[in-house]
Structure 1
Amino acid sequence: MSLVLTVGEVVAPVFLLATIGYVWVRLGLDYDIAFVTRMSMTLGVPCLIFVSLMRTKIDPAALTTLSLASVAAYGAITVAMLALVLLARLDLRTYLAPLIFGNTGNLGLPLALFAFGDIGLDYAVVVFAVMAIYSFTVGVWIVSGGGSVLRVIREPMVAGTLLGTLFLWQGWETPTFVTNTLQLVGQLAIPLMLITLGVAVARLSLRGFLRPAVLAILKAGACIAIGLAVAHAFGLDPVAGAVLVLQVSTPVAVTSYLLASKYGADADAVAGLVVVSTLSSVVYIPLTLAYVM
């Protein structure tokens, strides 16, 4: 019973904040999702990543192991999802990237924070950073048919990751007033991303149910299995392993829908995946947490 309550306490704030965004839109109130997303991705998340990496208490060896484990996990997920897309004869540009990349920012970061505290957030930031770099290189290349290294370097999240890694490696710290400012800006990210998730889901239209439901279930099952296998293979400590499983198994990211719209893939199909996988996560994320906690 205590485990159920613990999981409920972890999951409830995440979905309640998303519900606020959902209800906000349903009430007909304005919400500039493009502005809020841009502010989160160019200010909030980079500051969160930078400060978390700079001030992390994770042992450097454990940090390296988790980074390599994250790369291995996403490599295995890519192979599994590519096989799924080819076997199902689905359009690569539309389906592959959404099935690989989960909502590690909007859902993964706050879930790790609420479930495991600051150390959980530190671990989650590492996995998120690996995913972000992979997403802005391979992910964009898949959807658009071409990518640019310069584009990746210009992304604030990538800059925050590289700077945070440099400060961690050198043992540097920004002056206290700068750190406090960056920390405050970073604290904007999690509530804004969760509310925006609810807004985005409220505005998406679901086209068909069977295909996105089957794909969402297969994605979640494969990602959980791969996360557990990789965590065991790399000998991650219990919290790091749990965070890796949680991060890689998050539902399809809303950014996948935005990228599909931008680069001319089937945005409606991706929207269906986002909605169904996010709704199904209400069931499987608590079960996953109950298993790994």
Structure 2
Amino acid sequence: MNLVLTVLEIVAPVFLLAGIGFAWVKLGFEYRIQFVTQLAMTLSVPCLIFVSLMTTQIDPAALSALSLATVAAYGGVTLLAAVIVRVFGLNRRTYLAPMIFGNTGNLGLPLALFAFGDTGLGYAVVVFAIMAIWSFTFGIWLVAGSGSFGKVIREPLVWGTALGALFLVQGWETPVFLTNTLSLLGQMAIPIMLITLGVAVARLSPGGIGRAVVLSLIKLAICIGIAALAGWFFDLDKIAFGVLVLQVATPVAVTSYLLAEKYGADAQSVAGLVVVSTVLSVAALPLMLGFLL
């Protein structure tokens, strides 16, 4: 009974905030998703990542092990997802990226924080950063036919991660007034991202629901299995293991839909994957947390 209450305490704030965004749109209120997303990804999330890494008490060696496990996990998911797409005869440009990349930002970071505290958030930002770099390069290449390494270099979240890791390794800290300022900016990230997730889901027009259900279940099974194997192989501690599995197994990210829309893939089918996988996560995430806690 205590475990059930603990899981509910973790997932309830996540889905309530996403529900606020969903209801906001359905009530006809304005929400400029492009502006809010740019604010979060350019300013708030990089500050959150930097401060989380700078102030974390995690052993740098543990973060290195998690980084290697994350690379291995996403490598394994990429290979197996490619096989699934080929076996099912699906269009690679439309389906492969959504089968690989999850919502490690909007959903994964808050869940890691609520489930595992500041230590979990410190681990989660590493997984998020690695996924983002893979998405900005290989993910864009899948959909558009060309990568964007230059864009990766210009992304503030990459610089926030690099600087945070440097400060962590060197034991440096910014002046208190600057740390407090960056912390306040970073604290915006989680509620903004969750509300924006609800707004985005409310505005999507899903297509191919039956296929989306099957693929979402396959993606969930692949991601949990491979992430667990990677965590076991690299001998991660309990919190790092839980964060890795949780992050890799998050539902399809809204950015997959935006990329499909931008580069001419089947955006409605991707929207179906986003909506269905997010709805399935309402049941799947509490079950996962029950095993990981």
Normalising by structure 2, report the TM-score. 0.98
Structure-2 residue corresponding to 1:240? 240
For 2:153, the aligned partner's letter is I
Q: Deviations over 1:149-192 (max 9, x none)?
A: 22110011111111212222222211111111111111111000
Give the deviation of 1:148 after TM superposition: 2.9
Q: CA deviation at 1:209?
A: 1.3
Matching residue of 2:200: 200
1:157 and 2:166 aligned: no
Deviations 1:31-80 (A, max 9, x none): 00110011011011111111111112110111100000000000000011
Partner of 2:219: 219
Is contact 2:109-2:190 (8 Å) kept? yes
Paired with 1:271 and 1:191, the residues of 2 have a C-alpha distance of 23
Deviation for aligned residue 1:274: 0.2
Q: Distance in 1 between matches of 2:51 and 2:180?
A: 9
1:8-19 map, 5 Å? 8-19=8-19
Secondary structure of the 1:251 match is: coil
2:281 matched to 1:281? Answer: yes
Which residue number in structure 2 is paired with residue 103 of structure 1? 103
How many residues in Structure 1 have an aligned counterpart in Structure 2? Answer: 293
User: Which residue of structure 2 aligns with residue 269 of structure 1?
Assistant: 269
Query: C-alpha displacement at 1:201, in angstroms?
Result: 0.4
RMSD of Structure 2 on Structure 1 (CA): 0.9
Paired letter, 1:79: L
Q: Say which SS state the counterpart of residue 188 (structure 2) adopts.
A: helix
Cα distance in 1 for partners of 2:15, 2:291 equals 19
Comparing 186-195 and 129-138, the one that deviates more = 129-138
TM-score w.r.t. length of structure 1: 0.98
Correspondence list, 1:159-198, <5 A: 159-198=159-198
Amino acid at match of 1:101: F
| SS, match of residue 236 in structure 1 | coil
SS in 2 for 1:57: coil
Q: Give the Cα separation in 2 of the matches to 1:220 and 1:253.
A: 13
Conserved? CA contact 2:56–2:122, under 8 Å: yes
Name the counterpart of 1:257.
257
CA distance in 1, matches of 2:96, 2:55: 35
SS of match in other structure, 1:174: coil
- Cα deviation, residue 229, structure 1: 1.1
Aligned with 1:218: secondary structure?
helix
Q: Distance in 2 between matches of 1:29 and 1:252?
A: 25
Aligned mates of 1:144, 1:39 — CA distance in 2: 25
Please state if 1:290 is matched with 2:280: no
Partner of 2:6: 6
Structure 1 segments, 4+ long, off by >3 Å, are: none
Q: How does 1:80-99 map to 2 (within 5 A)?
A: 80-99=80-99
Look up the SS of the partner of 1:250 in the other structure: coil
Aligned mates of 2:41, 2:81 — CA distance in 1: 26
Deviation at 1:208, TM superposition (A): 2.5
